[in-house]
Structure 1
Amino acid sequence: MKKLISIILVCFLLLLSACTSNKESSTNEGSGKGGVSEINMVLFSGSVPKDLQLVQDEINKITEEKIKVKVKLTPINIGNYVQQTNLMLSSHEKVDLMLLASFFGYTSQAAKGQLLPLDDLVEKLGPDIKQVMDKDFLNAAKVGGKLYGVPTLRDMASASGINMRKDLVEKYSIDITKIKTLDDVEAVLKTIKENEKGITPLVPSNPGQQPTMIYNWFDRLGDGLGVLPNYDNNLKVVDLYETEEYAEFVKKMRKWQNEGLLMKNPSTNTETGTNLVKSNVGFSYFSPQKPGIALQESQNTAKPMVTTSLGEPVATTFGVTTMMWGIPQSSQVPEAAMKFLNLMYHDKELVNLMSWGIEGKHYEKVSDTVIKYPAGVDASNNGYNLNMSFAMGNSFLSYVFEGNDADLWKQTDEFNKRAIKSKALGFNFDPSPVKTEITAVTNVVNKYAVSLESGVLDPKTKLPEFIKNLKDAGIDKIIEEKQKQIDEWAKTQK
C-alpha cells in the first residue's frame, strides 16, 4: 500500500512538474506551426469591422516574422464587454491578452486571481514598455504591490473644462482665455440665456452622470466613496458630500437651475451633451480637457467647438488605468502574449495596422504623420472602423487623422509631463471588505447626487438629508477601510 501511494505521489509530482514547466515555457518552439505561438486578443468595439480578417492577416505577417507569434483579434460589443469577459475569465476560455479598465472592474479581477501578475514578464520581455512608459504611470496599475495590467500610452491626465459652440462664442465676442472659474462660466451662460431663446446654456455631459464625475477638484480614489481633496491633503480620505467645496458646488448649481442656465429635467434626459449640441438644444457641456479635444468634439457634434480648461491637468490612478492590457491567469502562452504586447509599444507599422487598418484601403497618407480616408471611403463605409488608437499600446506611434494638429502626440506628451500627479497615484482600492456597505451607499448616491448636482433638489434641505442617509448606509465604514488601505499603501511608497 505504501509502495502504491509512493508511486501515485511520484506520478502526481511529475505531472505537476510537467504542468509548471508547460506554463513557464509556453512559448517554446513547439507551440505551433514552425514554432509560432497563437494568442487570442480580446478587446471592446462598437461593432466587428468587415475587414477584420484582412487586417489580422497583415498583422500576423509582421508578428510571425519578428516574434513568432500569431494573433486572433476578438472584438466584443462594448455594451456586452463586462458581462462577456467576466464569463470568459470565470470559465477559463482561451484568452491571452485582454483590454482592461478601471471602470470594467480591474481591481476585482486582480483580487479574484483572474489576471496574471506581469512584473516578471515585463522585466524579462517588456523592454520597450519600460522604455516609453513613465514609471509612475506603469506602477499606477499595481494592485497589492503587483502589476496586473499595462496602461496604454496616451493622454494620461485630464483637466476639468467646458466645451462650447464656436459660432455663439464668436457671435457674442466671448473671450474664452478669461474663463477660469465657475463664476466666469456663469457670466457666459447668462449671455446665452439672454440672447439665444430655445437653447439651454449648459446641458448634461452624459445622461444620468454626476457632473462632479467630470468637473472635479479631488481624486475619486476609484469609486468616489471617500475622496482625496485637491489631490494631496496628506492622504486624508474624506466624504466628498460633507465637504464645504461640495456644498458650494451644489448651491451654485441650484442657483443656475433657478436662473434657467441648466436643463430643467435632467433625470429624463437620454442624450449625451454632444448630441444635445448637435440637435441645437444645448450650447455647452462640462468635459475633460486634453490636446485635440476641440476637434474631437467638433466632429462628435458636427459643429465647430471651442474648449477651455477650468483647472490644471491631473494624473490619477483612475485616469491612468482607464485603458490597459492584461494577461488572464488561464493563458497557456503568457510569454507569447507579453512579446506581442511589448511590440505594441515599439513597432509603428503594427500600431497603425491595429489602429487604422491597411494603407490604400482604409486610409491614405497626407504626410509622414497625417492620414485621411481614401477616395470613396468615409466613416460609414470604412471596412476597418475601430478608431481605437488610444488602446493600441503606444498611441504616440499612431498616425494623426486629418484635421488634428500634426503635432498632437508631441502636445500630448508635454501635457502628460506637466500634469500634477495625485499623491494617491498608484493606489488601487480593494472594495471587497466593505462590499455590502458599498452597495447600500451607492443606492443612496444614485438617489440624491445627480439631482443635487444638477440643481433640481434644494441643498438647504436635501444635502443634510443626503449626508444622513449616507451615514446610515455605512459610508463612514467605507472611508475607514479606504483610509486603512491607503495608509498601508503609503508605507510601501517610501
Structure 2
Amino acid sequence: MTKKLLFVCLAAFMIFTVACSNNGNGGEAKPSNSTNDTNTAVNSETEKPVEKVTFTYFNGVAAAKDTNTNETKIGKLLEDQTGVNFKIEHLVGDLNTKIGTMIASNAYPDVMIPDAAIDKILDAGAFIALDELIEKYGPNIKRVYGPYFNQMKAADGKIYFLPFSNTVGEYIPDPNINQGAFWVQRRVLKEAGYPKITTLDAYVDLIKNFVEKHKDEELTGMVSLTHDWRFFATSNPPNHLAGYPNDGNVIVDMTTFDAKTYAADDNTKRWLSKLNELNAQGLFDKASFVDNFDQYLAKLTSHKVVGFFDYGWQFANAQNALKDAAKADPTQDDFVYFPLPVTFDGQKDQYLDPPGFVKNRGMGITVSAKDPVRIIQYLDNLLTDENQILQKWGIKGETYEVDDKGRMFRTAEQIAKIDEPFNESFGFKYYSWNWPLYGGGSSLPDGNSAAPGLQPEVFQMSLTDADKMILDKYGVKTYSEMFAAPDNRPWYPSWGIPKEQGSAQQIWETKKDEITKKYFPKLVLAKTADFDKVWAEYLEAFGKLDTAAYEKWTTDEVKKLIEASKQ
C-alpha cells in the first residue's frame, strides 16, 4: 500500500508541475535542480485517486489562527499533489506546560515544532529517527539538507528533526530588518527632524522628549517582552548594545574566539540600570513582566508604545497590522516602527545576522504519527524548486510575474493585495516558515531569490511613498543599509550548538534563566537608590553557577566549528 501511495503522490505532483509549466510560466519550464522520480515511476496505478489523509501539526512558535492547510490556496494545491492535509494547532498559554502535558500522556500530534522545548521532546523520545525515511523517500531532503547532515545528527548519530535555516544556492542578504533592533514610532523621528540615533542614551532621550511633548496621549515610553521563552527579548540587548550579534548566552571575542557570558557583566548592569531609570521616570511599562505575548503585540498596535527592543520576526504580526493600516490610510504611517542600530557608545553594531545554521530547532515526526512515510513524502515534495516558489512566491499571474530576463517580481497591485488577511487565506502566513524549506538568504538555480522579500525588485516595489521618504531622509534605499554589515562568524549562532539532555551546559542554562527571570524584574522595578543593592544580590545568586565550565565548553565548540569551516 505504501508503494502504491508513493507512485500516486509522485504522479500527482508531475501532473501539477506540467500544469504549472504550461500555465504558470508561459509554456517554458523554470530551470530546476529538484529531484523528481515521476519521469520513470508512472504506471496504471497512478490513475487511481490519491487517498486523502489529515495529519495533526503542533506549532509552538507562531502566533496565528489554527487552521487546516487545505483551507489555504497553497495548502489545497499541495493536497491536490499529495492527498495530504495538516490540521495546525498553535500554542496557547505556556509552552513548557503544553509540552509537559503531551509527554505525561505520551500522546503527540503527528508532527510538531516544539521550539524552545525541543530538548524536552528529544529527552522524552517523542521524535522518531528520520534517517531511513530520508534515505528511502527523501531525495529532495538529501539535496537540500545534505551539506548539513553532520551538524543535524544527535549524539547517537541519528537525525530527529529538520531545521529551517539551511541556505540553498548563493546567499542573498535581507534588505529588511527581521532580526534585532531598537524600534521607534516613525512620528518620533519625524518630529525630531530625522536625527541619526546610534547610542542608547540618544535613543532614550528621543523617547523621553517625545513623551514629554505629548502628555495628553498617555503614551508608554518603552515596553519589553518577557513572556515565557521569549524572555530573551529582554536579556539579549546588552549583547547587541556592546556591538555583538545574537550568539545566545555568550559574547565571542573576534580575536581570541573565547566565549564569555554577559548575563552578569557590566553590559547587562548598564542595560538594566537604564530600564530602571526609565521606570523611575514613569516611562517604562511595569506590566512588561506579567504581560503574555498576545498582550504585548496588542500594545504595539495600540499607537501608545513609543519604543522597544525586539527581533523583527517576533513582532511581525503587529508591524504588519500597522503597515496594512498605513496602506489604507497614509496618515497611519506615523505609528509604523522604524529600526535603529543602537549601541552603548556608538560602536559598530552587529545586529544583522551573518550566514549561519541553527541546528537545535526544527520540525520532527513524532512516535504518535499515523503514517511517517506519507509525511516524509509530503515534506520532501515541499523541497522541489517549484513548490518552494509556490510556498514563498505563490502563483504566477496572481502573486508574482516573470520579466523577459527571467527575473521574478511583483506588480504594485499584487503587493497591495498581499496584506495579513490575504497571507492567511492564500497560505503565505502558514507556509513561509515552519516547514522544511530553502532557508533565509537562499536563491533558486536561475539566480532569483527564494524569498520575495529578498528580491531587490520586490523590495523596492513594496515600499510605500512614506517608506521611501523616511529611507531617503537617512540616505539609504533599504533598512539594512542603516546597519553595519555582519562580520563572518563560522560558528554562528553559538546558541544553536546542540547540548545533550541533562548535560552541565543545559543545566547551567536552565538555572541561569531561572535566576534572571527572578532578578531582572526586581532590578528594573527597584527604587533607583536600591539598584546596586539588588544587583549585588543578583551577582551572589549568579555566582553559584559554574559559569567558567559553561564558557570553556562553548569556547571549545566555537573553535571546533571554526576549524571545520577551514576544511
TM-score by length of 2: 0.61
In the alignment, the residues of structure 2 paired with residue 328 and residue 316 of structure 1 have an alpha-carbon distance, to the nearest angstrom, of 32
Instruction: Tell me the equivalent position of 1:13.
Output: none
Kept in 1: contact 2:279–2:285 (CA 8 A):
yes
Instruction: Tell me the equivalent position of 1:405.
Output: 459
The structure 2 residue matched to 1:246, chosen from 268, 281, 286, is 268
Matched, 1:287 2:310: yes
Kept in 2: contact 1:51–1:384 (CA 8 A):
no
Matched, 1:449 2:529: no
The structure 2 residue matched to 1:324, chosen from 362, 373, 376, is 362
| RMSD (CA atoms) | 5.1
Instruction: Trace 1:117-136 onto structure 2 (pairs within 5 A).
Output: 117-118=129-130, 122=134, 126=138, 128-129=140-141, 135=147
Amino acid at match of 1:278: T
In the alignment, the residues of structure 2 paired with residue 420 and residue 483 of structure 1 have an alpha-carbon distance, to the nearest angstrom, of 22
In the alignment, the residues of structure 2 paired with residue 281 and residue 259 of structure 1 have an alpha-carbon distance, to the nearest angstrom, of 17
Instruction: Tell me the equivalent position of 1:77.
Output: 90
Instruction: Tell me the equivalent position of 2:77.
Output: 58
Q: Quick one: structure 1 residues 244 and 206, their matched pair in 2 at CA, closer, same or farther if it must change by over 3 Å?
A: closer
Instruction: Tell me the equivalent position of 2:535.
Output: 463
Q: Secondary structure at the match of 1:211?
A: helix
Kept in 1: contact 2:57–2:86 (CA 8 A):
yes
Matched, 1:98 2:101: no
Kept in 2: contact 1:219–1:231 (CA 8 A):
no
Q: Secondary structure at the match of 2:127?
A: coil
In the alignment, the residues of structure 2 paired with residue 117 and residue 60 of structure 1 have an alpha-carbon distance, to the nearest angstrom, of 25
Matched, 1:40 2:55: yes
Kept in 1: contact 2:207–2:221 (CA 8 A):
yes
Q: Secondary structure at the match of 2:276?
A: helix
Instruction: Tell me the equivalent position of 1:365.
Output: 399
In the alignment, the residues of structure 1 paired with residue 212 and residue 108 of structure 2 have an alpha-carbon distance, to the nearest angstrom, of 60
How far apart are residue 276 of structure 1 and its match?
A: 3.0
Kept in 2: contact 1:39–1:71 (CA 8 A):
yes
Kept in 2: contact 1:262–1:454 (CA 8 A):
no
In the alignment, the residues of structure 2 paired with residue 312 and residue 173 of structure 1 have an alpha-carbon distance, to the nearest angstrom, of 26
* Unaligned ranges ≥5, structure 1: 1-25, 64-69
Point out the more displaced range, 196-205 or 342-351: 342-351
Kept in 2: contact 1:204–1:211 (CA 8 A):
yes
In the alignment, the residues of structure 1 paired with residue 91 and residue 152 of structure 2 have an alpha-carbon distance, to the nearest angstrom, of 22
Deviations 1:174-219 (A, max 9, x none): 23xx222313313422432442323233222456846223563367
Amino acid at match of 1:449: F
In the alignment, the residues of structure 2 paired with residue 429 and residue 386 of structure 1 have an alpha-carbon distance, to the nearest angstrom, of 33
Kept in 1: contact 2:6–2:377 (CA 8 A):
no
Matched, 1:427 2:427: no
Q: Secondary structure at the match of 2:126?
A: coil
Kept in 2: contact 1:237–1:479 (CA 8 A):
no
Point out the more displaced range, 249-258 or 81-90: 81-90
How far apart are residue 468 of structure 1 and its match?
A: 0.8
How far apart are residue 248 of structure 1 and its match?
A: 2.6
Instruction: Tell me the equivalent position of 1:487.
Output: 556
Point out the more displaced range, 319-328 or 336-345: 319-328
Kept in 2: contact 1:151–1:324 (CA 8 A):
yes
How far apart are residue 448 of structure 1 and its match?
A: 0.8
Instruction: Tell me the equivalent position of 2:379.
Output: 341
How far apart are residue 465 of structure 1 and its match?
A: 0.6
Instruction: Tell me the equivalent position of 1:304.
Output: 336
How far apart are residue 312 of structure 1 and its match?
A: 2.0
Kept in 1: contact 2:185–2:336 (CA 8 A):
yes
In the alignment, the residues of structure 2 paired with residue 27 and residue 297 of structure 1 have an alpha-carbon distance, to the nearest angstrom, of 44
Amino acid at match of 1:241: A
Kept in 2: contact 1:255–1:455 (CA 8 A):
no
Kept in 1: contact 2:259–2:552 (CA 8 A):
yes
Amino acid at match of 2:112: M
Kept in 1: contact 2:128–2:367 (CA 8 A):
yes
Amino acid at match of 2:489: K
Instruction: Tell me the equivalent position of 2:202.
Output: 184
Q: Quick one: structure 1 residues 134 and 188, their matched pair in 2 at CA, closer, same or farther if it must change by over 3 Å?
A: farther
Q: Quick one: structure 1 residues 359 and 437, their matched pair in 2 at CA, closer, same or farther if it must change by over 3 Å?
A: same
Q: Secondary structure at the match of 2:308?
A: strand
Kept in 1: contact 2:140–2:384 (CA 8 A):
yes
Q: Secondary structure at the match of 2:77?
A: helix
Kept in 2: contact 1:153–1:390 (CA 8 A):
no
Kept in 1: contact 2:54–2:84 (CA 8 A):
yes
How far apart are residue 397 of structure 1 and its match?
A: 4.4
Kept in 2: contact 1:291–1:412 (CA 8 A):
no
How far apart are residue 170 of structure 1 and its match?
A: 0.8
How far apart are residue 75 of structure 1 and its match?
A: 0.9
How far apart are residue 112 of structure 1 and its match?
A: 3.7
Instruction: Tell me the equivalent position of 2:299.
Output: 276
In the alignment, the residues of structure 2 paired with residue 214 and residue 300 of structure 1 have an alpha-carbon distance, to the nearest angstrom, of 28
Point out the more displaced range, 459-468 or 449-458: 449-458
Deviations 1:44-68 (A, max 9, x none): 36333378457555322223xxxxx
In the alignment, the residues of structure 2 paired with residue 96 and residue 489 of structure 1 have an alpha-carbon distance, to the nearest angstrom, of 35
Amino acid at match of 1:184: A
* Unaligned ranges ≥5, structure 2: 9-44, 167-172, 326-331, 343-348, 403-408, 440-448, 463-477
How far apart are residue 340 of structure 1 and its match?
A: 2.3
In the alignment, the residues of structure 1 paired with residue 5 and residue 290 of structure 2 have an alpha-carbon distance, to the nearest angstrom, of 59
Q: Quick one: structure 1 residues 255 and 295, their matched pair in 2 at CA, closer, same or farther if it must change by over 3 Å?
A: closer
How far apart are residue 246 of structure 1 and its match?
A: 1.9
How far apart are residue 285 of structure 1 and its match?
A: 1.1
Q: Secondary structure at the match of 1:283?
A: strand
Q: Quick one: structure 1 residues 315 and 165, their matched pair in 2 at CA, closer, same or farther if it must change by over 3 Å?
A: closer
In the alignment, the residues of structure 2 paired with residue 234 and residue 119 of structure 1 have an alpha-carbon distance, to the nearest angstrom, of 37
In the alignment, the residues of structure 1 paired with residue 314 and residue 387 of structure 2 have an alpha-carbon distance, to the nearest angstrom, of 24
TM-score by length of 1: 0.68
Q: Secondary structure at the match of 1:74?
A: strand
The structure 2 residue matched to 1:379, chosen from 417, 421, 428, is 421
Q: Secondary structure at the match of 1:42?
A: strand
Deviations 1:4-63 (A, max 9, x none): xxxxxxxxxxxxxxxxxxxxxx95337898587867351436333378457555322223
Using the aligned pairs only, state the percent identity.
16
Q: Quick one: structure 1 residues 122 and 339, their matched pair in 2 at CA, closer, same or farther if it must change by over 3 Å?
A: same
How far apart are residue 74 of structure 1 and its match?
A: 2.1
Amino acid at match of 1:106: I
